[in-house]
Amino acid sequence: MFTGIIEAFGTVKSLEKESTNLHITLESDLAKTLKIDQSVAHNGICLTVVACDQEIYTVTAIEETLLKSNIGTLQINDLINLERAMKLGDRLDGHMVQGHVDQIATCIKAENKEGSWLYTFTYDSRKGNITIEKGSITVNGVSLTVVDSQKDRFSVAIIPYTYEHTNFHTFTPDKIVNLEFDFIGKYITKLYSNG
């Protein structure tokens, strides 16, 4: 379980295909705190550490993860948002995040609002996921509040700290991102759709 509060960046150092899996090696200040079998969210995707050293570590994404997220589009030197799993008893500064990507979305607008940034994303609403204004959404692992909600798109506003300390500052129109919708909302939607 995660909170959607990004702790550090990881820089992609190598990408190695093995059958249908992808091994991703990253460099990060967090590497020295990690151990094998630990769960870490990478752009919102919960992946298990399979090897680690002082400055680098490796995780493996399986075919299911590659199909449902943007992780298959990674390139060398890309910046990844990282968050270690939450500890019981810690403050929950974001919202409850499972690290299970529901689907991808595309950034269609990134606006500098002179003190904040407004990003608009579009997604395939036929998959049954929804957003609501003032509700929670996780974009590339970042816990955010929905500003504007429509059937197949939503917007979020980013403060300068979030802009600088997450990979949002790299987003341009056409950027593919990972979405995890609020899990309480998902359960309610499922309950009503089974009606």
Tokens of 118: 């407004």
For the segment 128-167, what is each residue's pLDDT rounded down to a tens digit? 888 989 999 999 999 999 999 998 999 999 999 999 999 9
The mean pLDDT of 74-89, rounded to a whole number, is 91
Query: What pLDDT score was predicted for residue 191?
Result: 66
Residue 95 lies in a domain: no
Same domain, 122 and 178: yes
Point out which residues pair with 58 in neighbouring strands.
25, 51
The DSSP call for residue 76 is T
Q: Is residue 109 a part of any domain in this protein?
A: yes
The model's confidence at residue 183, banded by pLDDT at 50, 70 and 90, is confident
Number of independent structural domains in the chain: 2
Residue reference for tokens 């968050």: 83
Structure tokens that stand for 140 in this block:
């590339």
* 127 CB-contact burial (10 Å; exposed 0-12 / middle 13-18 / buried 19+): exposed
CATH of the domain at 114: 2.40.30.20
Beta-bridge partners for 146:
156
Q: Which domain holds residue 35?
A: 8-84
Could you count the other beta carbons within 10 Å of the beta carbon of residue 68? 16
Neighbours of 194 (CB within 10 A): 6
